[in-house]
Structure 1
Amino acid sequence: MLNADDTLDTQASVRRANLRRALQLVFRNPGTQTRAGIARSTGLTAATASSLVAELIEDRLIVEGEQAASTGGKRATTLSVDASHHLILVLVIQPLHAQIALVALDGTELETRRVGYSIEERDRSLDEALTTVAGEFGGRLLAAGVQLPGTTDGRSVLESVQLKWEGVPLAERFERILDAPVLLINDVDAEAIAEAGMEESPSGYRLFIHLGGGVGAAVTLNGELAPGPRDRAGEIGHVQVVFGDAARLCRCGQRGCLESAAALGAMLGEDFSDAMDASEIRALAATADEEQLDEGARALARAVKLIGALLDPTEVVIGGPATELGPRFLDRVRRETEYPARGTTQVPVRYADPRVSLAAGAAQAALTSALGVRWNPQQLRAASTPRP
């Protein structure tokens, strides 16, 4: 039997679960959700629903809005997400620069800042930038999402070749500066989370492939990230897909890796850099060797066919700087993934949604970690539109 303390713990746990359910309903339908709607959707009593709403208002997570349309009785008051107080900080770390974004609870990106540094100065520059943000917004920071290339368990950077970090307890370090919980997330995982969040009710497997200076992948199931037990899911860049004389030497020392053919440096030449903006990448793609682009498309298609046959994904999404390669590259990948074997089906392949901002996935991950809720697609798109 439960003792008294166990009963209190259980009651508190149920209360927290109901608060998350009520908050998610407001996040799903801001401006139209009501106390009565929460009671109906959860099966809770009107009094309990009103108590939950009162606590969420007190915690500055939701606010009352206008009165809802009349249904014959007293008009109910609508509820919306409180975008005036709590902030989510997103830090996107890349080898020679980082972007800091401050995102309100309604998904609106309030401002962004760019921090440049050398490899030697990176740690100091990041700490100083976060110290400045903490000084300005410290009391309002709900959580922080730190997006970076490499593997992470959410607390430490297990390995990042690009950043030359291994076993770095980054979340703990940043938490001391920000006085807020910090979640680390792989950059490709963050992109996949944002892409899945653009659908109202995502279902099935989706394979997301990032093509940039490197190649990485992530899988979502019903909109949720599907990581492996060792935090290594999606590390496909050094899987061999090219053989014989066509296999190029990869930076890892092996030959024929997917990255050696399909990373943008391999397809666009040594002038490519992850620091390039979209217009620079498009200009480089316009003068690129078409045979190298075709080789990259063929190599990528081989990986897609193998993974697709295993997962039966609803679609394959290509993201990262590769979205600037244009329709010819995408068409070539689509053609190369066609094969008439019996029992197989063509998997749709498309580019990532251009409306999703760089900070959206990490912001969503931090929000879910802190409050247990998700934005709806409209709110996620709002992260791409800075508030004036």
Structure 2
Amino acid sequence: MLNSDDAPDTQASVRRANLRRALQLVFRGGGAQTRAGIARATGLTAATASSLVAELIESRLIVEGVQAASTGGKRATTLSVDAGHHRILVMVIRPTDARLALLALDGTEVDVRTVAYTAVSRERMLDEAVARIAEDHGDRLLIAAAQLPGTTDGRTVLESVQLDWREEPLAARLEKQLVVPVLLVNDVDAEAIAEAAGEAESSGYRLFIHIGVGIGAAVTVDGQLAPGPRDRAGEIGHVQVEFGEHARLCRCGRRGCLESASSMTAMLGDDFSDAMDEDDIAALARTADGTVFAEGARALARTVKLAAALLDPTEVVIGGPVRALGEPFLDLVRAETAYLASGTASVPVRYARGGANPSIGAGQLALSSALGVVWSAEQLSSANADLR
């Protein structure tokens, strides 16, 4: 892998760093990058740039394309990402089902499989599905990422209320079958990464809040995740925000948690699931009591106001299935946060853009871990277009 830890001041570490720089330029180049362009952008000699390109081609990371337009001399050959060999496996694990997608290096999905299960059969069904992936694609797998609700240190599921997992060594278990590195990522963190990755330029401090069956948050700084030192940043779903007779019983056993008022289950009932599409969610919302949306918006607004006062973000972005409730619900939240508390600044609140590819957040994290590069917004736009 290009992104392995480098010892300082060694020729090998300098070589790996230059390979990452060259590869990132090809990722950003949209199929128009050349050896001469890499040399100019990095300040390396033409011979060194050509040597880097040769190694990246041999590693099946980039390929040569058509000849670039002439600038008066010999026409250069363009370079693009090799989407035909390496694969990144992204597993989106939810309480009742999982989505397993194989991504090419350009971000496009080349194979998608789903598996449904119960709490009793979950581990067995997941293991069987992963075994089939390993059998079909094992020789081309580069890395894998598992996205799930709950806290994780990247290797172990520390706690997941939705999956009823605690201290679950999931990464090690999956690595035995896949024989490639596996990393774990919280689903809200992955969604926040995907939101930032889809922007041409992602700058500033952002608070991202996901609302579905559960509620969680993440903070990104200039598009990069800002995790806490104990891997529990953003676990806001079971913080008490309602008190007294209005405090509802939460599935965690306590009363007044944010999820008990503002989760999609709290507002739409037990018929809701994270696997529902937007049309089905909107239909379910039409049958719901309107007062639950007001209560949910009020509890959410309290949390947003406190978090925004503490963090001073440039914006608050709300993502997840809640987007299917449309502008009326968002207007309720905005109305509840409209007052300006002394000493604070007004913070805009909007829905996440969303996207057609639910694998991009965890896929981006896996790509960075393996190769030290990121997809461009143009690449992701093209990958999403292939799904529509």
Class of the TM-score when normalised by the shorter of the 2 chains:
over 0.9
Q: Partners in 2 of 1:239 and 1:190 — Cα distance?
A: 22
Residue by residue over 1:61-115, the C-alpha shift from the partner in whole angstroms, topping out at 9 and shown as x without a partner, is 0011112222232222111000010111111111111111111101111121111
Distance verdict in 2 for CA 1:7–1:279, change over 3 Å: closer
Instruction: Say what the alpha-carbon RMSD is for the aligned residues.
Output: 1.8
Residue by residue over 1:234-278, the C-alpha shift from the partner in whole angstroms, topping out at 9 and shown as x without a partner, is 001122222333222222233222111101111112322223232
Distance verdict in 2 for CA 1:382–1:182, change over 3 Å: farther
Distance verdict in 2 for CA 1:350–1:7, change over 3 Å: closer
Aligned to 2:259: 259
- 1:74 equivalent to 2:79? Answer no
- 1:140 equivalent to 2:166? Answer no
TM-superposed CA distance for 1:344, in Å, is 3.2
Aligned to 1:344: 344
Alignment of 1:187-336 (within 5 A): 187-336=187-336
Q: Partners in 2 of 1:107 and 1:127 — Cα distance?
A: 25
Distance verdict in 2 for CA 1:162–1:44, change over 3 Å: same
TM-superposed CA distance for 1:386, in Å, is 4.4
- 1:61 equivalent to 2:43? Answer no
Equivalent pair of 2:30/2:378 in contact (CA under 8 Å) = no
User: Which segment drifts farther, 85-94 or 250-259?
Assistant: 250-259
Q: Partners in 2 of 1:125 and 1:253 — Cα distance?
A: 29
> Match for 2:174: what amino acid?
F
Identity %: 69
> Match for 2:159: what amino acid?
E
Equivalent pair of 1:203/1:222 in contact (CA under 8 Å) = yes
Secondary structure of the corresponding residue to residue 48 of structure 1:
helix
Equivalent pair of 2:30/2:379 in contact (CA under 8 Å) = no
TM-superposed CA distance for 1:340, in Å, is 3.1
> Match for 1:306: what amino acid?
L
User: Which segment drifts farther, 377-386 or 54-63?
Assistant: 377-386
Aligned to 2:166: 166
User: Which segment drifts farther, 353-362 or 158-167?
Assistant: 353-362
Alignment of 1:28-47 (within 5 A): 28-47=28-47
- The number of residues matched between the two structures is 383
Secondary structure of the corresponding residue to residue 95 of structure 1:
coil
Equivalent pair of 1:357/1:381 in contact (CA under 8 Å) = no
TM-superposed CA distance for 1:342, in Å, is 5.0
Aligned to 1:3: none
Q: Which ranges in structure 2 are unaligned for 5 or more consecutive residues?
A: 1-5
> Match for 2:221: what amino acid?
L
> Match for 2:117: what amino acid?
Y
Secondary structure of the corresponding residue to residue 279 of structure 2:
helix
Equivalent pair of 1:150/1:186 in contact (CA under 8 Å) = yes
> Match for 1:150: what amino acid?
G
Distance verdict in 2 for CA 1:139–1:9, change over 3 Å: farther
Equivalent pair of 1:110/1:386 in contact (CA under 8 Å) = no
Q: Partners in 1 of 2:356 and 2:307 — Cα distance?
A: 25
Q: Partners in 2 of 1:275 and 1:342 — Cα distance?
A: 41
Residue by residue over 1:125-147, the C-alpha shift from the partner in whole angstroms, topping out at 9 and shown as x without a partner, is 11111111111111111111111
TM-score, scaled relative to structure 1: 0.94
> Match for 1:93: what amino acid?
I
Secondary structure of the corresponding residue to residue 326 of structure 1:
helix
Q: Partners in 2 of 1:276 and 1:233 — Cα distance?
A: 27
Secondary structure of the corresponding residue to residue 147 of structure 1:
strand
Secondary structure of the corresponding residue to residue 313 of structure 1:
coil
> Match for 1:51: what amino acid?
S
Q: Partners in 1 of 2:96 and 2:329 — Cα distance?
A: 28
Equivalent pair of 2:155/2:184 in contact (CA under 8 Å) = yes
TM-score, scaled relative to structure 2: 0.94
Secondary structure of the corresponding residue to residue 217 of structure 1:
strand
User: Which segment drifts farther, 373-382 or 259-268?
Assistant: 373-382
TM-superposed CA distance for 1:221, in Å, is 0.6
Q: Partners in 2 of 1:178 and 1:385 — Cα distance?
A: 29
Secondary structure of the corresponding residue to residue 167 of structure 1:
strand
Q: Which ranges in structure 1 are unaligned for 5 or more consecutive residues?
A: 1-5
> Match for 1:211: what amino acid?
I
TM-superposed CA distance for 1:7, in Å, is 9.4
> After the TM superposition, which segments of 4 or more aligned residues of structure 1 sit over 4 Å from their partners?
6-9, 385-388
- 1:186 equivalent to 2:186? Answer yes
Residue by residue over 1:358-380, the C-alpha shift from the partner in whole angstroms, topping out at 9 and shown as x without a partner, is 11111111111110110011222
> Match for 1:43: what amino acid?
G
TM-superposed CA distance for 1:385, in Å, is 4.2
Secondary structure of the corresponding residue to residue 79 of structure 1:
strand
Equivalent pair of 2:319/2:354 in contact (CA under 8 Å) = no
Equivalent pair of 1:109/1:383 in contact (CA under 8 Å) = yes
Distance verdict in 2 for CA 1:125–1:49, change over 3 Å: same
